């Protein structure tokens, strides 16, 4: 079995390499740290299976799948994600399998068993890719839960329980009603996964839960001040206010 690993995080690639190395019949033919790199390496190495991260620079995992869907003989894909995102429902319907970080060896071995079973079949997988792309591009793409780190482990929190997001250097701080958590993500990547009916980008550094807004006050030069139910005050810049005229009617 020829396997390619595509993940922008070195520790994640090392973990997959370690688990795969325990199987003598598996040949790791390459690694990729971005979506564009993954496409190039898939074309040159012709793997049977790709372990593909969803959130990668340059081109995300879904973009890679869209490119593979145009290939007459695409490899099997196992998605790897650190977040309970919009795509998981689609993965369950259309993709071979997915690994939710942090996965353990037992979960990995179950996935590998599914991979072996799929490789023994002769049915084409192109239709799976087409269905997957269609599913993740529809309205179901918005996250209803986020996987966040706490005390050396990861837990799920419902987006309904999130008050706001704030960028902090290379991290995003998630402020929930009961606690706060740091994610190593960009605010843009989180914004793309949030339902605009529930969340609004109010500043380059802030996203707020609309239901948590208590007051909106005009400020200077077309800007606003937003007061949340917990008393937090945030600037709502005119640039972002102009993108949400529905909230000012």
Domain boundary residue, one of 87, 107, 141: 141
Task: Quote the pTM value.
Answer: 0.53
pLDDT of 215 > 60? The answer is yes
CA dihedral 41, 43, 46, 51 (to 10 degrees): 50
Residues 195, 227 within the same domain:
yes
6: its two tokens: 């595509």
Residues 40, 95 within the same domain:
yes
Residues 19, 136 within the same domain:
yes
Residues 22, 105 within the same domain:
yes
Q: Which residue has the higher pLDDT, 217 or 137?
A: 217
First to last CA, the chain: 59
| Count: domains in the chain | 2
Residues 104, 58 within the same domain:
yes
Residues 6, 71 within the same domain:
yes
pLDDT in tens, 71-126: 667 888 888 887 655 455 545 545 567 788 888 999 999 999 988 888 887 544 44
| pLDDT at residue 224, rounded to an integer | 94
Q: Is 147 a domain residue? A: no
Q: Which backbone phi and psi does 143 adopt, to 5 degrees? A: -70, 140
Tell me the H-state helices in 121-237. 126-136, 187-191
Q: Is 146 a domain residue? A: no
Q: How confident is the model at residue 127 (pLDDT cuts 50, 70, 90)?
A: very low
- Residue 191: give the domain boundaries: 158-248
């Amino acid at each position: 079995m020829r396997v390619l690993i595509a993940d922008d995080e070195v520790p994640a690639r090392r973990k997959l390499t370690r688990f795969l190395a325990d199987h003598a019949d598996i040949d790791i033919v390459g690694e990729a740290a971005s979506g564009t790199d993954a496409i190039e390496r898939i074309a040159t190495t012709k793997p049977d299976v790709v372990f593909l991260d969803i959130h990668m620079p340059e081109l995300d995992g879904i973009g890679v799948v869209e490119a593979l869907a145009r290939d007459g003989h695409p490899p099997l894909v196992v998605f790897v994600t650190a977040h309970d995102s919009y795509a998981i429902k689609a993965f369950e319907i259309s993709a071979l399998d997915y690994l939710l970080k942090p996965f353990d060896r037992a979960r990995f071995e179950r996935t590998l068993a599914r991979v072996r079973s799929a490789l023994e079949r002769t049915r084409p997988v192109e239709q799976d890719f087409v269905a997957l792309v269609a599913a993740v591009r529809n309205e179901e793409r918005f996250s209803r839960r986020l996987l966040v780190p706490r005390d050396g482990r990861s837990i799920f929190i419902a987006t309904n329980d999130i008050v706001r997001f704030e960028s902090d250097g290379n991290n995003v701080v998630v402020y929930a009603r009961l606690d706060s958590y740091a994610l190593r993500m960009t605010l843009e990547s989180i914004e793309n996964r949030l339902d605009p009916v529930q969340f609004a980008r109010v500043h380059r550094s802030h996203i707020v839960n609309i239901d948590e807004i208590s007051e909106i006050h005009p400020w200077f030069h077309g800007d606003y001040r937003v007061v949340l139910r917990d008393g937090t005050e945030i600037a709502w810049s005119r640039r972002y206010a102009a993108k949400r005229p529905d909230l000012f009617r």
